Chain A
Amino acid sequence: MARQVLVIEDDPDIGRLIKLQLADIGCTVKLAADGLRGFAELEAKPYDLVILDLMLPGIDGLEICRRIRARPAYTPILMLTAKSGELDRVLGLEMGADDYVTKPFSVLELVARVKAIFRRVESLANQSAATGQVIESGALVIDVERREVRLDGRPVELTATEFELLLHFARHPGRVFTRAQLLDQVWGYSHSGYEHTVNSHINRLRAKIETNPNQPEYIQTVWGVGYKFRDVARS
């Protein structure tokens, strides 16, 4: 069944361009020229994704985002805007947007981001249906179902992305991932410009689970290649 996408964008040319591209990946796209009309459309029928411009006439995109998040049903949101400041990015994501693309954007990147959001939603749905699984490696215990991590019996507080990253590593012990692969497989992005996010998360994760982050035991560096989770069978 075709995925339903609602595009709230006041520039008709951009709206048409998005519609054209998303139609190619099997989406049915509805265009709304302002926030009020967009929100009314969303109330009328369920959508699989909302692509939302930040600068809109009448009510701005952040307010629309807030209203969408206040609804009981979860609808993924991809923010689209000409503002490129870090603050806008943080604001957009903190308001509950699932991703953020700045204008001018490459249509290829936009389509990749949309696909990534669909993949993540599917993966979350599959995970919630999965039976309980516990991964143990040394003093580290990962409870997949409860999304809890313990080190030497003590709980470790991880953010959602840190948990996903650790889980991805732990499910493939000994396998080396490049930074680009991690970005694609954990974050769902396949375009450049965000790779340092991976370094940042590995760094924070090590600070939380490694006894000595300078000589990591769990998430190890394979020089010239990438990163891997410790392989108990080999170590």
Chain B
Amino acid sequence: MFRSLYGRLAAVLMGVFVAVGGLMIVASQTMFEPERLQTVLEPNLLLELATYLIVGAVAFSLLAALIVFRFLTRRLRTLCESIEVFRDGGFSAPLQLAGNGGGDEIDMLAAVFAEMSERIVCQLEALAQVDARRRELLANVSHDLRTPLASMQGYLETLLLKDGSLTPEERRSYLQVATRHCERLGKLVRDLFELTRLEAHEIRPQPERFPLAELVQDVAQKFELQARKAGQHLVTEIAPEVPMVLADIGMIERVLENLIENAMRYTPAEGTIRVTLQADGGAAVRLGVSDTGKGIATNELANVFDRYYRVDRGEPGNAAHAGLGLAITRRIVELHAGTIRAESTPGQGTRFVVELPAAPAVSPG
């Protein structure tokens, strides 16, 4: 009962009534003493005594009410002051409210305000981070869009301006540069749209049971010629009895392509790209794609899946890469309830490991 504010108020008022009652008893006892009875019977004195009693009771009640009121408003005033400090501070630091531990209505109000202020501060911080990332993304996208555009425009204008004085070889070379940048621009736009649609959940996997081992073999085959031209070795190691997966074939092919392309980008000539596939305890399959590039520093490993994060590994051709492939890869793996991680030893290479759940077993026939 004494924990709630109403309870305390009732107790205080009860105290007031008991005190007033007590005073009246004491006053009446004094009045009815035999030696005073004669004088008491005088009407003026009786009136005087009654007036004192009433004035005393009213004064006592007022005093008690004032004390209770002050007790109530003091804590509310403290709460108001704290909220004003929070507002004046630009909602940057959560409210620090010390309750009296009683857990009454005002304490509950203070606790809710403190929780709300913490939430506001967290959300404002998150918004600021999103905004910073958006600005960074915009700056990166803008740069990556402008660079190929500038090259294309430059080479095409040169062709128009100097058409008469260019040799056929020069003309062809300028056009090849313009086409290369056009392809790069097209890929960037496609990747950006794909990632945006994946993040907005506009693309949903269309799962089917299929042997991932066959897809690994087919995708590796697709990159074989490219790797050979770059003087790289593309090796596939597929363990026997890898269970089937239940996944979207097109999306998983994209994962494989992104990881192999990424590994090829960072592997020097004579280096090796190794694609491995094995069962992971019957309930999952583990796909690994490793390169023999320069590796990634440990503090940068966690960021490689962020959209537009580009690790500067010092290899040539890195600047032309937009850095969306791994972000797309992670999103696809997550959509398939799988996991992806990167492991790296600086100086020796990097390995990406994808784990996908195995398809539920189906009895043959």
Q: Which residues from chain A sit less than 8 Å from chain B, CB to CB? A: 84-86, 104, 106, 178-180, 192, 195-196, 198-200, 202-204, 207, 211-215, 221, 223-224, 226
Contacts and interface: CB of A to CB of B under 8 A. Distances in A.
Given A196-B253, A203-B208, A214-B364, A179 B203 contact: no
A223 B190 contact: no
Nearest to B185: A104
B215 A199 contact: yes
Interface residues of B, number: 27
26 contacts: A84-B193, A85-B197, A104-B182, A104-B186, A104-B189, A178-B218, A179-B218, A192-B222, A195-B222, A195-B253, A196-B249, A196-B250, A198-B218, A199-B210, A199-B218, A200-B208, A200-B249, A202-B214, A207-B209, A211-B365, A213-B364, A214-B211, A215-B364, A223-B217, A224-B221, A224-B236
B9 interface: no
Nearest to B204: A86
A144 B44 CA distance: 132
A46 B214 CA distance: 45
B219 to A, nearest CB: 8
A199 B222 contact: no
B195 interface: no
B214 to A, nearest CB: 6
A199 B249 contact: yes
Given A84-B190, A192-B222, A223-B238, A199 B365 contact: no
A211 B215 CA distance: 21
Residues of B contacting A: mostly? helix
B244 interface: yes
B364 A195 contact: no
Interface of B: 182-183, 186, 189-190, 193, 197, 202-203, 208-211, 214-215, 217-218, 221-222, 236, 238, 244, 249-250, 253, 364-365
Nearest to A179: B218
Given A84-B193, A196-B249, A213-B209, 7 more contacts: A106-B183, A195-B222, A203-B208, A212-B365, A221-B217, A224-B236, A226-B218
A26 to B, nearest CB: 25
Contacts of B244: 214
Contacts of B221: 178-180, 224, 226
A179 B197 CA distance: 28
Contacts of A223: 217, 238
**List of 9 A-B pairs having minimum Cβ-Cβ separation, nearest first:** A212-B364, A196-B253, A179-B218, A196-B249, A196-B250, A203-B210, A104-B186, A200-B249, A199-B249
A202 B208 CA distance: 12
A226 B218 CA distance: 7
A203 B203 contact: no
Nearest to B209: A203
Contacts of B364: 211-215
